[in-house]
């Protein structure tokens, strides 16, 4: 089932009404990424305000999710002795059938009389809420009414138990206002995509759910024959149909010969007209027509109407069971093809989870600055991980030349525009600072580095350049480690570093000045930095380095102050949180552990498991991932002044001090990305295979860091941007169009962590917006041509009025002019219609942005080659491959379509 966007608060308000002291705590399963972490902070803040008990559980992958289902979710069921309750999945499980993964599809050895597979187990009044930004949705979670299906199975109506929309308040999987939660099931929170984009998939899924089961007898033959008929069977099938038609013609010819001989015998014997009653039912229609015609002629000759009776009208034959089965199979295959096409599109991302949970808080009237800041940080985190409408691919803000679109193209900019409006609403400028803000705005905007007052905790808009951690680094280091700037200046070479020095020199900033901390730079330099960047950056191809100056402040970033303690941008916080989750030192600072060992295939196709790893290593890795999650969770504590304290080792334990203490961790990660990426590009270790670029990180001081999927994804984004810029300069193509596969060696476990980046080149253009722009451009051109024609016609009329000639000649000239104008207008209309049809056909052929299909390609390669691969990450473009199998795996992968 799915909850529409306009009813986003319906389930929460119902939980608030039904919650009491004996109710089980709300279980929250959270993915290990900044977006899901911020969403968890927002949701727990809402639950705390309403005194609803809750429990958080970090989830690293599908193995952790299955383990949480067995240990935490299933004991909540009434069939297991629990009292039911709510389980919320934040950034978890949107791509798989959660009923199966959580172990709610069967009893699993549990007792009781609740609904479930085999009459045991089932959901047991456990309701699972799914809030995820990954696409494609698993349609079983979206449209299936699990409660009605389970009740139908218990009643013995297996064929009817899966009907969609049998529960009160649910229609074809869509929850309405009359829905009463508490009976269990899976509810997906819709961000608008299901209602707007999945109409065909919804129709196909519901039709398949309502179809009766086809009998086993004759299924195979019927399917084969129906496939031959539907596919055309250009060779063998067409010959079969021709042969059948020839046989029918031969039979009909034989029947006609027999009828003709019989009629001739009867005519020669009796001399009367032919018998009106057909002897063969197969010829009923033709014989009836002939009999009626001949009988009427006899009646006219005899003058006695009605002497010969005509046959009754033909009775419509009912289709046989074989024909009905064929029709059903054909219809079933049609609907299955729709669902298959949806799943085969590849992975992509929609609205961030933190933004959707903030919408819930806003609908409840609970929004404030703390929750708004968490939503802003979560949205900023999605951009750092390359999550776009094209899946994980090169950063859209980096690959969009000359613009500052931000996350996910047009849709991402709409979300950021809403967040900017929320910032203005919740953080009005004090009257004492209005004049100062107006003066700063007139100069083009200054990057804020401190608060307005000691008690200032407001959020402000800032013209953030595409630099990294600029408030916590020197200007030189911030520019050097910026993926956007380093890729376009070729910073991996000596010539690229000289370009950076020339840019700083033209801006009037000395190397001594820019190498010191940015907060200690000369105030005049900081105030004029943005204007100088706008003037000199385009000369080096850095058109989008600084956001434009406009009234709406499109592309501007977000900055929050904590009095005199700190001033951080949302991107800075997201960078620090990512570093904590990926490489923070928990126990052994040199050993970076990876994902849990138990393997679970997230798709319908199983993978070959790697060799088993020791249980001690598995436990240590899981414990480290959990410790990193809680460290990042504590760093987001909003009460920095009261909760921040020091442990007995002298390290901060919570709040803002903990966040600031991990700035060196983030700097170390991005230094490693620059070193490793520079080595890969400068040494030409990025090779071009058939379908993608490929690189392997197997040596160097930072190899251990890139066994983590998150860190490897960031390195791949850096390399993909650098390679895309180089290819664009060589061939003139758009930057960021190449797919990339990057592998990192984990020598201790003997595996390669492999990540595949799609070649979508960012979020792309939305189909509706693009079509509207093309239509508007066509209308403008058409209107311009019409005005030009009117002007020419008016000039000609004026010339004719001044001319003193024959009136008839003028009339003829008018007629010729009008005809020429009409013909030209008709040709312009036809041309515009042709261009419109071409644009529409082009839009139909493209069907949205290119998506990342590495998940499908990985599964296909495993099935063909038998490589030892583990797919446990929620990112289906991340896998682990045995060290010995990597070469064969990549060779087979190069033959697959990895974007689509």
CA–CA distance, 375 with 389 (Å, rounded to integer)? 19
Q: Which CA distances in Å does 169 have to 210, 419, 726?
A: 19, 33, 56
Mean pLDDT over residues 296-325, rounded? Answer: 61
Least confident of 75-79, 734-738, 839-843: 839-843
Return the H-helix or E-strand segment holding 561.
Answer: strand 557-561
Output the average pLDDT for the chain: 76
CA–CA distance, 160 with 149 (Å, rounded to integer)? 8
> For 531, what's the count of Cα atoms within 13 Å in the CB-facing half-sphere?
13
Least confident of 362-376, 500-514, 717-731: 717-731
Q: Which residue has the higher pLDDT, 843 or 787?
A: 787
pLDDT digits (tens, 9 = 90+) for 13-36: 999 999 888 888 999 999 999 999
pLDDT digits (tens, 9 = 90+) for 751-766: 999 999 886 544 333 4
Query: Would you tell me how many other CB atoms lie within 10 Å of the CB of residue 569?
Result: 24
Most confident of 25-34, 293-302, 385-394, 586-595: 25-34
- Contact indicator for 592, 566 with CB cutoff of 8 Å: no
Least confident of 121-125, 299-303, 805-809: 299-303
Question: Does residue 266 register a pLDDT over 90?
Answer: no
The secondary structure of 755-770 as a DSSP string is EEEBSS-SS---HHHH
**Domains of the chain: total:** 3
pLDDT in the model for residue 712: 94
Question: Does residue 58 register a pLDDT over 70?
Answer: yes
Query: Would you tell me how many other CB atoms lie within 10 Å of the CB of residue 635?
Result: 25
DSSP state of 429: P
Question: Does residue 299 register a pLDDT over 50?
Answer: no
Least confident of 173-182, 577-586, 653-662, 791-800: 791-800
Query: Would you tell me how many other CB atoms lie within 10 Å of the CB of residue 708?
Result: 23
Most confident of 188-202, 272-286, 795-809: 188-202
CA–CA distance, 757 with 769 (Å, rounded to integer)? 26
CA–CA distance, 524 with 447 (Å, rounded to integer)? 12
pLDDT in the model for residue 599: 32
Question: Does residue 515 register a pLDDT over 80?
Answer: yes
DSSP state of 25: P
Least confident of 26-30, 434-438, 544-548: 434-438
Cα dihedral 260→265→266→267 (10° resolution): 80
Q: 3-state SS of the chain: helix, strand, coil percent to 5?
A: 55, 10, 35
Helices (H), 539-592: 570-583
- For Cα atoms 482, 483, 487, give the angle at the middle one, nearest 5 degrees: 115
* Assigned token pair, 593: 């552990």
User: Which of these three, 146, 171, 192, is where a domain ends?
Assistant: 192
Question: Does residue 199 register a pLDDT over 70?
Answer: yes
CA–CA distance, 730 with 340 (Å, rounded to integer)? 39
Cα dihedral 856→860→866→869 (10° resolution): -10
- For Cα atoms 877, 626, 47, give the angle at the middle one, nearest 5 degrees: 100
Least confident of 60-74, 272-286, 656-670: 272-286
Where do we find the tokens 């065909």? 200
Question: Does residue 440 register a pLDDT over 50?
Answer: yes
Query: Do the domain assignments include residue 651?
Result: no
Question: Does residue 201 register a pLDDT over 80?
Answer: yes
Rg (CA), the chain: 35
Q: Which of 340, 848, 864 is nearest to 603 (CA)?
A: 340
Q: Which CA distances in Å does 637 have to 63, 201, 375?
A: 29, 42, 14
Question: Does residue 171 register a pLDDT over 60?
Answer: yes
pLDDT in the model for residue 53: 94
CA–CA distance, 756 with 889 (Å, rounded to integer)? 13
Residue 890 CB contacts under 8 Å (≥ 6 apart), including other chains: 689, 694, 741, 743
The secondary structure of 626-648 as a DSSP string is HHHHHHHHHHT-S-HHHH--B-T
* Assigned token pair, 581: 């989750």
Q: Which CA distances in Å does 53 have to 19, 43, 597?
A: 9, 12, 31
Q: Which residue has the higher pLDDT, 62 or 622?
A: 62
As a whole number of Å, the end-to-end CA separation of the chain is 28
CA–CA distance, 154 with 115 (Å, rounded to integer)? 7
Could you give the 3-state DSSP secondary structure of residue 461? Answer: strand
- For Cα atoms 559, 561, 566, give the angle at the middle one, nearest 5 degrees: 110
Most confident of 346-355, 448-457, 516-525: 346-355
Query: Do the domain assignments include residue 621?
Result: no
SS3 annotation, 208-256: HHHCCCCCCCCHHHHHHHHHHHHHCCCCHHHHHHHHHHHHHHHHHHHHH
Query: Do the domain assignments include residue 797?
Result: yes
User: Which of these three, 192, 227, 254, is where a domain ends?
Assistant: 192
- For Cα atoms 7, 12, 15, give the angle at the middle one, nearest 5 degrees: 135
Q: Which CA distances in Å does 212 have to 217, 328, 331, 490, 658?
A: 15, 9, 12, 62, 59
pLDDT digits (tens, 9 = 90+) for 604-629: 333 333 343 344 555 666 678 889 99
The secondary structure of 57-108 as a DSSP string is EEE-SHHHHHHHIIIIIGGGSGGGT---EEEEEESSSTTS-HHHHTT-SS-T
Q: Which of 669, 757, 759, 680 is nearest to 706 (CA)?
A: 669
Least confident of 212-216, 854-858, 893-897: 212-216
Query: Do the domain assignments include residue 374?
Result: yes
pLDDT digits (tens, 9 = 90+) for 696-753: 999 888 999 999 999 999 999 999 989 888 888 887 655 545 789 999 999 988 999 9
DSSP state of 226: H
Q: Which residue has the higher pLDDT, 816 or 786?
A: 786
Return the H-helix or E-strand segment holding 462.
Answer: strand 459-462
Q: Which of 501, 665, 444, 489 is nearest to 575 (CA)?
A: 665
Q: ω before 285 within 30° of 0 (cis)?
A: no
- 292-319: b or e for each residue (b if 16 or more CB lie within 10 Å)? eeebeeeeeeeeeeeebeebeeeeeeee
pLDDT in the model for residue 367: 92
Angle, helices 34-49/353-363, rounded to nearest 10 degrees: 20
Strands (E), 309-407: 348-349, 387-388, 391-392
Query: Do the domain assignments include residue 484?
Result: yes
Query: Do the domain assignments include residue 820?
Result: yes
Mean pLDDT over residues 485-493, rounded? Answer: 91
Residue 725 CB contacts under 8 Å (≥ 6 apart), including other chains: 487, 488, 490, 735
Query: Do the domain assignments include residue 172?
Result: yes
Q: Which residue has the higher pLDDT, 154 or 234?
A: 154
- Contact indicator for 502, 536 with CB cutoff of 8 Å: no
Q: Which of 72, 77, 131, 69 is nearest to 100 (CA)?
A: 69
pLDDT in the model for residue 100: 92
pTM, two decimals, is 0.77
Q: Which residue has the higher pLDDT, 259 or 352?
A: 352
pLDDT in the model for residue 491: 92
- Contact indicator for 687, 891 with CB cutoff of 8 Å: no
Confidence of residue 675 (pLDDT cuts 50, 70, 90): very high
pLDDT in the model for residue 562: 92
What CATH number has the domain bearing residue 73? 3.40.50
Beta bridge partners of 4: none
Could you give the 3-state DSSP secondary structure of residue 622? Answer: helix
Pairing status of strand 126-131 against strand 185-189:
parallel
Question: Does residue 482 register a pLDDT over 50?
Answer: yes
Least confident of 21-35, 141-155, 519-533: 141-155
Q: Which of 866, 878, 825, 510 is nearest to 711 (CA)?
A: 878
CA–CA distance, 384 with 274 (Å, rounded to integer)? 89
User: Which of these three, 192, 218, 244, is where a domain ends?
Assistant: 192
CA–CA distance, 487 with 721 (Å, rounded to integer)? 6
Could you give the 3-state DSSP secondary structure of residue 391? Answer: strand
pLDDT digits (tens, 9 = 90+) for 388-433: 888 888 654 444 444 444 456 678 888 998 999 999 999 988 777 7
CA–CA distance, 760 with 851 (Å, rounded to integer)? 6
Q: Which of 41, 69, 51, 55 is nearest to 15 (CA)?
A: 51
CA–CA distance, 464 with 545 (Å, rounded to integer)? 9
CA–CA distance, 724 with 741 (Å, rounded to integer)? 14
Helices (H), 457-522: 475-480, 483-489, 494-506, 511-514
Query: Do the domain assignments include residue 679?
Result: no
Q: What is the largest CA-CA distance in the chain?
A: 125
Mean pLDDT over residues 228-238, rounded? Answer: 47
Domain that holds residue 164: 2-192
Q: Which of 168, 249, 219, 207 is nearest to 1 (CA)?
A: 168
Question: Does residue 292 register a pLDDT over 70?
Answer: no
Percent with pLDDT over 90 in the chain: 36
* Assigned token pair, 33: 């990424």
pLDDT in the model for residue 408: 64
DSSP state of 305: T
């Amino acid at each position: 089932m799915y909850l529409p966007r306009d009813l986003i608060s319906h389930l929460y308000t119902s939980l608030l009404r039904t919650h009491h002291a004996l109710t089980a705590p709300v279980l929250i399963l959270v993915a290990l990424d900044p977006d899901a972490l911020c969403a968890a902070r927002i949701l727990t803040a809402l639950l705390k305000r309403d005194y609803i008990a809750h429990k958080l559980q970090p989830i690293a992958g599908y193995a952790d999710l299955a383990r949480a289902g067995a240990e935490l979710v299933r004991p909540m069921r009434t069939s297991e002795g629990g009292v039911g309750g709510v389980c919320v999945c934040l950034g978890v499980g949107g791509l798989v059938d959660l009923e199966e993964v959580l172990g709610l599809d069967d009893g699993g050895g549990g007792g009781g009389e609740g609904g479930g597979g085999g009459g045991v187990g089932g959901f047991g009044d456990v309701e699972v809420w799914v809030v995820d930004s990954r696409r494609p949705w698993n349609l079983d979670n979206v449209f299936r009414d699990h409660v009605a299906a389970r009740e139908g199975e218990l009643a013995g109506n297996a064929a009817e138990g899966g009907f969609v929309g049998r529960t009160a308040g649910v229609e074809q999987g869509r929850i309405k206002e009359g829905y009463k939660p508490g009976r269990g099931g899976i509810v997906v929170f819709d961000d608008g995509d299901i209602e707007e984009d999945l109409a065909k998939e919804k129709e196909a899924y519901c039709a398949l759910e309502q179809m009766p089961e086809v009998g086993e007898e004759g299924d195979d033959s019927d399917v084969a024959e129906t496939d031959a008929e539907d596919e055309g069977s250009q060779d063998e099938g067409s010959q079969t149909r021709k042969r059948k038609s020839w046989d029918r013609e031969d039979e009909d010819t034989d029947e006609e010969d027999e009828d003709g001989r019989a009629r001739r015998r009867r005519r020669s014997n009796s001399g009367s007209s032919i018998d009106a009653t057909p002897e063969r039912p197969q010829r009923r229609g033709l014989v009836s027509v002939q009999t009626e015609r001949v009988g009427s002629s006899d009646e006219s000759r005899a003058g006695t109407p009605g002497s010969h009776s005509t046959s009754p009208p033909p009775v419509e034959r009912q289709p046989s069971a074989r024909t009905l089965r064929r029709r059903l199979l054909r219809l079933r295959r049609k609907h299955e093809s729709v669902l298959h096409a949806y799943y085969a599109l590849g992975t992509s991302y929609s609205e961030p989870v933190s933004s959707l949970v903030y919408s819930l808080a806003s609908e409840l009237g609970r929004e404030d600055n703390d929750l708004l800041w968490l939503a802003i940080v979560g949205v900023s985190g999605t951009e750092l991980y390359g999550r776009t409408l094209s899946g994980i691919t090169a950063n859209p803000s980096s690959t969009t030349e000359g613009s500052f679109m931000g996350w996910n193209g047009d849709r991402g900019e709409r979300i950021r525009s809403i967040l900017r409006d929320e910032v203005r609403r919740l953080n009005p400028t004090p009257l004492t600072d209005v004049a100062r803000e107006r003066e700063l705005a007139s100069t083009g905007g200054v990057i804020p580095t401190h608060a307005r007052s000691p008690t200032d905790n407001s959020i402000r808009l800032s013209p953030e350049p595409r630099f990294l951690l600029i408030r916590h680094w020197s200007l030189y280091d911030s520019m050097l480690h910026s993926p956007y700037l380093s890729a376009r200046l070729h910073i991996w070479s000596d010539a690229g570093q000289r370009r950076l020095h020339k840019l700083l020199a033209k801006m009037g900033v000395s190397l001594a000045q820019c190498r010191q901390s940015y907060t200690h730079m000369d105030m005049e330099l900081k105030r004029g930095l943005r204007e100088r960047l706008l003037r000199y950056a385009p000369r080096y191809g850095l058109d989008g380095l600084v956001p434009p100056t406009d009234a709406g402040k499109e592309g501007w970033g977000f900055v929050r102050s904590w009095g005199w303690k700190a001033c951080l941008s949302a991107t800075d916080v997201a960078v620090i949180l990512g570093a904590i989750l990926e490489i923070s030192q928990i126990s052994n600072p040199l050993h970076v552990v990876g994902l849990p060992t138990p393997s679970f295939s997230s798709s319908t196709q199983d993978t070959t498991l790697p060799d088993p790893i020791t249980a001690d290593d598995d436990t240590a890795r899981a414990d480290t991932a959990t410790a990193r999650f809680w460290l990042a969770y504590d760093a987001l504590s909003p009460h920095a002044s009261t909760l921040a304290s020091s442990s007995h080792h002298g390290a901060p334990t919570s709040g803002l001090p903990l966040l600031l203490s991990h700035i060196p961790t983030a700097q170390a990660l991005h230094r490693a990305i620059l070193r490793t990426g520079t080595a890969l590009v400068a040494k030409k270790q990025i090779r071009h295979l058939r379908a993608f670029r490929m690189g392997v990180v197997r040596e160097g001081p930072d190899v251990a860091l890139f066994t983590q999927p998150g860190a490897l994804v960031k390195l791949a984004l850096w390399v993909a941007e650098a390679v895309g810029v180089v290819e664009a300069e060589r061939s003139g193509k758009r930057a960021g169009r190449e797919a990339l596969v990057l592998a990192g060696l984990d020598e201790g476990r003997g595996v390669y962590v492999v990540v595949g980046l799609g070649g979508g080149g960012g979020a792309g253009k939305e189909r509706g917006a693009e079509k509207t722009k093309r239509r508007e451009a066509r209308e403008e051109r058409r209107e311009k041509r019409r005005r030009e024609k009117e002007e020419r016609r008016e000039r000609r009329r004026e010339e004719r009025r001044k001319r003193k000639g024959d009136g008839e000649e003028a009339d003829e000239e008018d007629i010729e002019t009008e005809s020429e104008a009409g013909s030209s207008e008709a040709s312009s209309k036809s041309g515009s219609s042709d261009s419109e049809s071409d644009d529409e056909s082009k839009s139909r052929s493209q069907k949205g942005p290119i998506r990342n299909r590495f998940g499908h390609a990985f599964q296909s390669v495993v099935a063909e080659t038998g490589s030892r691969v583990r797919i446990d990450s929620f990112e289906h473009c991340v896998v682990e491959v045995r060290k010995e199998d990597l070469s064969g795996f990549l060779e087979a992968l190069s033959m697959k379509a990895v974007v689509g």
